[in-house]
Amino acid sequence: MYMTASRIEIQGKPVLKLNIHEYGERDIAFLDHLGINEIDSDRAGCRYIHIHSKEDFLSIRSALFEKYTVTEEGPKAYLKAK
C-alpha cells in the first residue's frame, strides 16, 4: 500500500487530497475509521480524503505512523503494517 498527496482547490480554498493506493481488505476498517473512505473512480484501488486543516493532517498522519512503518520514495510514501 502506498500514499500520495496533492494540493487542490475546492470552492476557492486550498485543500490537501490524501490518496491511499493498493490497500488490502484488512486495511479498509482502519481507513474508514480515519475518514479515508472516498473512492476515486478514475483510479482502481484508490481511496482518498480531503484534509482542510493542519490539525486534521497531523492527526491522520500520527494514526498512520502508529499502525504502519512508512518509507518515503519520491512522491510516494509506502505503508507496511507493523
Q: What is the pLDDT of residues 20-42, one digit of tens each?
A: 999 999 999 999 999 999 998 88
State residue 31's pLDDT score: 97
pTM equals: 0.89
State residue 42's pLDDT score: 85
Residue 44 has pLDDT above 90, yes or no: no
Distance CA 23, CA 33 (A): 14
Joined together, the cell numbers standing for residue 75 give 512522491
Count CA within 13 A, CB hemisphere, residue 1.
21
Total domain count for the chain? 1
Q: Which residue in 44, 49, 16 sits closest to 32, CA to CA?
A: 49
- Domain boundaries, position 38: 2-81
